[in-house]
Amino acid sequence: MNANGITAAVGEPRPRVEGRLKVTGSAAYVADVPMPDLAHGWMVTATVSRGRIRDIDATDALAMPGVLGVLDHRNARRLNPDAAHHFGPDRGLPMLQDDAVPYAGRPIALVVARTPEQARAAASALRVTYDAEPHDTEFSMNHPAARPASTLFGPEADTGDLEAELAVSTVVVDEVYRTPEENHSAMEPHVATAWWEDGHLYALDSNQGPFSISQVMAMLFFIDRDRVHIRAEHVGGGFGAKTICGAQIILAAMAAEHFRRPVRVALTRRQVFLAIGSRPPTEQRVRIGAGADGRLRAVHHHAAFALSPLAEYIEWCTEQARTLYAAPAIRTELSAVPLDRLPPCTMRGPGATPGSFAFESAVDEVAERLRIDPLRLRLLNQPAASPVSGRPWSTRRLITCLEEGARRFGWAQRDPRPRLRREGNLLVGTGVAAAAFVAGVFPASATIAAETDGTFSVRVGASDIGTGARTALIAVAADALGVSTERIRLHIGDSDLGPNPGAGGSRGTTSCAFAVTEAAKALREKLDDPARPVTVTVDTTPLINWRPAEERNTYSAVFAEVTVDPATGEVRVRRLLGMFAVGRVINPLLARSQLIGGMIGGLSMALHEESVRDPITGRLVTADFAGYHISAHADVPNVEADFVADYEPQDPSGFNGLGEIGNAGVAAAIANAVWHATGTRHRTLPISLGRVVETAAPRDRQEAISAV
């Protein structure tokens, strides 16, 4: 309780403020917002993996009812070829500019009609012919085109004498791990409605950051950013797939200008699979050397991922190797392999999630070969400071996560030997993995107005993609202003609300909370006359990173129990426990919900998810939920997520982001549990039944029959 008798809102488990709107279907998502004189665009995508468009014959399509026209490279307006997003220039952003087909799924035309049904029907009457060219979509880390990845996130690690340490190690694990292409599968497919007025572009768009999307759109269309106005009030999930400026808004804006009326482009599920970036496949070689005492001596993690030559991208898989454990020699390498594939896009826990599968599987293999408990091995190698930079941690409660998780999970009773526990025909095993996720804040701006009715209007360009950011920021604003949450009027999801990083990198809420807290501080200093409205705006650019000497991360320890039927290869996760150190928690109800969601995503990645491309055509075969399997309810067991007490000293309120740490670590914990159950190490995801099924019949069948 504060001096005004108001109970602190931060730390309280409060349900989402818009929860009622959502469960009653009255929260208006982009496609729900009516628009007078609206036309509808239907996206047409390329069906070859590389080549040139020979012809697009629209004769039949144009004659169909309701059709307003067809946009393609022959009549579309020119877009800025140098437009860039956070990874740098992206040649994939300018669409419909030429006849080149750089990947299957590339948008090549937009059919515009009065109704979506008319547009769709006309699109299917479009006759597209290609001059196909040989393509290369087959990913491997040894591909001749492999090259060092962008170092935008900083240089890779290289400390100590790796080969010398490996040479004196008692055991050396040297294995290759693979993760497939994966799709975000947000519930709401990408959709945008765009219109132009007096040289200003307006758009409702399902995205994760209206401000950054407005920057890209301004570049693309050669206009000032303050002439681009993008709103995203409610967003039905993103998982990274809506951090980019998507085909839907680019095409809608082009068509709105061309046809001089508002145009909506709503993608189907299949179109999202085909045309919106996915997590790229990875191949990762991990070498770890350790002494007989269980101390790691050498860590080498070389990860490669696929991308498109159109744009830079980083799947930063090597974060775990430089953060989790102490070792005198640590080297990380990151390679990118340009292929004729859909350009990748950050997906929940980019890098850390596939990276931790490889690295924490390899650490488990070290424990296996040393015959040492894998939990003990992890505890034994905890670094006092960053093993690469030598800098101190701002906070690091990983040991507490591991120990408290082990206590709750009942780890002490575990026999580390594999393939010992049976229940009928099932093999039972348990596994653990640790994870770290780099934390921090991006610059953001917030405006708070003290209104004369006693309320406070808080304006911040945050995105609530279903995480509960809106609810969290109301609590932060209320506490920072020393008032009850009922007096906060929060406005988010609008590029006009000032610079904002959006919901990405696990930093949306912490970045916005920082700005709101600072704005509230500034406002309270000016708030002398309650009858007079006062407005302040604070941009956190000069305020953040005031303790740069420290490394800032969030941490988790994940424990899994699985059953495996060796006769059928069926793997079921029976228990999943995650202990998290994520700073001070704003809203434990929503935070727990988000972490459990992340853990389910990790389970789904471990056992089910795999985008499959045709080995001959390179086209995506699994472009729907019949082919791309995410875990069903029946696959999801008792999942527990909880927090250890933590406080982030780099944040004025002690917060850290937790958007992605829930995913990382889960796949490795499950893979390690499958090894413990079966004695077989699975180094390729997903751990599908075809990979697990064993040719030898279970031994105890004989006994079952002899009882007859």
Partner 1 sequence: MREFAYQRTTQIRDALSSVARHDGARFLAGGTNLVDLMKAGVESPARLVDIRSLALGGISESPDGGLVLGATATNSAVAADPLVRRRYPALSQAILAGASGQLRNMATVGGNLLQRTRCAYFADPSEPCNKRAPGSGCSALGGAHHNHAILGWTEHCVATHPSDMAVPLTAFDAVVRYETLDGPGEVPLSEFYLPVGDRPDRETALPDRALITAVVVPAAEVAGKSRYRKVRERASYAFATVSVAAALDVQDGVVRDVRLALGGVASRPWRARLAESALRGGPVTAERISAAADLEVAAAEPLRDNGYKVTLARNLIEAVLTDLAASSGAASGGAAGNGAAGAGEESDG
User: Least distance in Å: CB of 297 to partner 1?
Assistant: 39
d(CA 145, CA 207): 33
Residue ranges of the alpha helices (H) in 568-655?
Answer: 588-607
Q: Which residues contact 136 (CB under 8 A, 6 or more apart)?
A: 50, 145, 339, 340
The active-site residue out of 610, 660, 694, 703 is 660
And the tokens for 163? 């080969």
Provide the 8-state DSSP code for 453: T
d(CA 7, CA 498): 30
d(CA 501, CA 507): 8
Q: Which is nearer to partner 1, 392 or 569 (CB)?
A: 569
Candidate residues 62, 326, 567, 596; the one interacting with partner 1 per rule CB under 8 A? 567
Q: Does 320 bind partner 1 (CB under 8 A)?
A: no
Residue ranges of the alpha helices (H) in 547-624?
Answer: 588-607
For residues 57-96, which are near partner 1 according to CB under 8 A?
A: 65
User: Least distance in Å: CB of 567 to partner 1?
Assistant: 4
d(CA 357, CA 68): 50
For residues 379 and 313, is the Cβ–Cβ distance under 8 A? no
Candidate residues 97, 140, 455, 617; the one interacting with partner 1 per rule CB under 8 A? 617
Q: Which is nearer to partner 1, 375 or 692 (CB)?
A: 692
Compute the radius of gyration of the chain from its Cα atoms. Answer: 26
Q: Does 707 bind partner 1 (CB under 8 A)?
A: yes
Q: Which of 510, 589, 500 is nearest to 232 (CA)?
A: 500
Q: Does 615 bind partner 1 (CB under 8 A)?
A: yes
Helix/strand/coil for 71: strand
Axis-axis angle for helices 352-370, 588-607 (nearest 10):
70
User: Least distance in Å: CB of 109 to partner 1?
Assistant: 14
Q: Does 569 bind partner 1 (CB under 8 A)?
A: yes
Q: Does 690 bind partner 1 (CB under 8 A)?
A: yes
For residues 92-121, which are near partner 1 according to CB under 8 A?
A: 115, 117-118, 120-121
Provide the 8-state DSSP code for 115: S
The CA distances from residue 564 to 281, 561, 698, in Å, are 26, 10, 12
Q: Which is nearer to partner 1, 531 or 708 (CB)?
A: 708
Identity of the amino acid at 164: A
Q: Which is nearer to partner 1, 33 or 567 (CB)?
A: 567
Identify the bridge partners of residue 405 per DSSP, sorted by sequence position.
none
User: Least distance in Å: CB of 684 to partner 1?
Assistant: 13
Interacting span for partner 1 (CB under 8 A) from 313-321, 489-497, 537-545, 607-615: 607-615
Q: Does 3 bind partner 1 (CB under 8 A)?
A: no
660 is catalytic: yes
Q: Does 47 bind partner 1 (CB under 8 A)?
A: yes
Helix/strand/coil for 687: coil
Q: Does 622 bind partner 1 (CB under 8 A)?
A: yes
Candidate residues 297, 613, 676, 683; the one interacting with partner 1 per rule CB under 8 A? 613
Interacting span for partner 1 (CB under 8 A) from 76-84, 131-139, 488-496, 687-695: 687-695
d(CA 207, CA 90): 18
Q: Which is nearer to partner 1, 634 or 645 (CB)?
A: 634
Q: Does 264 bind partner 1 (CB under 8 A)?
A: no
Identity of the amino acid at 442: F
Q: Does 701 bind partner 1 (CB under 8 A)?
A: yes
For residues 666 and 558, is the Cβ–Cβ distance under 8 A? yes
d(CA 433, CA 402): 9
Q: Does 697 bind partner 1 (CB under 8 A)?
A: yes
For residues 138-197, which are near partner 1 according to CB under 8 A?
A: none
Q: Does 26 bind partner 1 (CB under 8 A)?
A: no
User: Least distance in Å: CB of 672 to partner 1?
Assistant: 21
d(CA 431, CA 119): 51
Identify the bridge partners of residue 129 per DSSP, sorted by sequence position.
55
User: Least distance in Å: CB of 117 to partner 1?
Assistant: 4
Q: Which residues are catalytic?
A: 660
Residues that bind partner 1 in the complex, under the rule CB under 8 A? 47, 65, 115, 117-118, 120-121, 124, 425, 567-570, 572, 607-608, 612-617, 619, 621-624, 626-627, 629, 631-635, 688-691, 693-695, 697, 701-702, 704-708
